[in-house]
Amino acid sequence: MLPCGIVEGGIHFGRDVPPRSEPGKVILVMSYDNIAALSVILSLSILGAIYLWKICTRRRCLCRVCQNQYRQMRLIGSGGYGSVYLVERLHDGVQFVSKKILVRDITEVDEYSKEAKELVTLRHRHIVSYEEDFVHVEYGALEPKTYFIIVMEYCPEGDLKEKIEQDFCSFTEEWVRTVFAQLLQAVQYLHSKNVIHRDLKSQNVFLAEDGHVRLGDFGLCRHTRNPALGSATFSHAGTDCYMAPEMLNSSRYGKPADMWSMGCVLYELCTGQFMWELDGILGAMVMADTQIVHKLLRANVVPAVGNALRSLLRRLLNAKPEGRPTATTCIRKKLFKKASHMSRELFGDQLGDGSQGDVGDRDSSPQGASSGSGRAGQGDGLEGGAGIASAGSGLLSGAHPRQGTLGGATDDSADACSETTSGGEEVGGGRASCATSSDEDAALQRTESALARKRAQRRRRRTYRR
């Protein structure tokens, strides 16, 4: 119980009503509520004074951006790594890309600067060129935020993933060979410097204004002391659907792991199907079924792709690291010589022909499974390879190629549609009518299957997209 009574300061403690005070005196009853209110007011006053002091005494960032050497134009993309902006250097108007990474601990600056240091030492016409890096600090809040910024070459044509999504039907075998040869040169240069990229994928291959490719994103690259193909111990890093079997199975891997990822990129170029759209991680699927790569190639590779690229693709996606060719070995192949003739037929033309031809004819072709149901109804509606996968569902489940979605009843329907008279003469009109009905049913079935596959692949894409 608080003591009661009038004290000299005019403050009364207690719950009873104080006696009438003399004029000119203010009496404050110090109840628990009033004490709590005074405490809150005092705390807010202290915080306000601290905030005003920080505003009046805050420092100004002196980086290149804050000194108006660069002008930020627009946001290109963002993710767990940070944000990427398009910036313009004011004194000459040249555009660059700035990678802005939030630094939660000042000691992380050294770790993030590793990518910048790698870009400084790696100079190649097919590798994203480095401009500069610096630390940027924002003092807007109570605690300043620190960012590490890397300024790099700007590739206005986007990345290879976007190119596959938007223009796959306009690809040719000649164009695929040219792009992949340039990418091989970049990887060969990295491996000659004993650098392993560890995150090779179509999202990290950029298209420059001159039409050439640039390999970028070196945040996960590591140096290996072993100049040969021997593996070394590294941490688990990269994108799982592009990882080689040895990266998934152990922590010892080397340059052949990059060549596996190169095979994944070549697979996307030849099929229009992204690795995350498969029914699982290819590196794990190969360990369970050594024939899965052969089945996928037979089912999904565009008919315009010749045997030379198919053979290289099979070798790059070899489950054993020692069975994969090096970047130098690939470049020396006759396939990448100028004298080697490659098809210039558009992939979209063959996809259209495959979706309109006769079912029996497509079944009898070597690429029947790929030119038929796998791409039925695709044409203009190609969306990142949607409708390409699962074409060979019969192939993946072990069924015979002629018993898949396309031509399960090709031979039987042909026999059923041929009627004979009592004299043994064939009735042509009835056969043609029956064949037409069979073709319409098969086309409807292919369209429904393609739509179902598109929906399933879009769901997988949302799940696995990085």
Sign of CA dihedral 52, 55, 56, 57: positive
Q: How far apart are CA 85 and CA 352, in angstroms?
A: 39
**Radius of gyration in angstroms for the set of CA atoms belonging to the chain, rounded to a whole number:** 34
- What crossing angle do the helices spanning 173-192 and 307-316 adopt, rounded to 10°? 30
Q: How far apart are CA 364 and CA 369, in angstroms?
A: 10
CA nearest to 231, candidates 183, 198, 275? 198
133 annotated active-site = no
> Token digits for 208?
């420059």
| CA angle 289–293–296, rounded 5-degree value | 115
φ, ψ of residue 366 to 5 degrees: the values are -60, -30
CA nearest to 437, candidates 421, 414, 420? 414
Residue partners of 385: CB distance under 8 A and separation at least 6: 164, 165, 168, 268, 271, 272, 273, 274, 277, 457
| CA angle 184–100–113, rounded 5-degree value | 65
Q: Are 381 and 451 in contact (CB under 8 A)?
A: no
* Residue 129 CA, distance from chain mean position: 21
Catalytic residue, candidates 33, 133, 159, 199: 199
Cβ-based neighbour number of residue 449 at 10 Å: 20
> Which residues are 133's β-sheet partners?
150
> Which residues are 206's β-sheet partners?
159, 214
Alpha helices by DSSP H, 193-316:
245-249, 255-271, 282-288, 292-300, 307-316
Cβ-based neighbour number of residue 326 at 10 Å: 17
Catalytic residues: 199
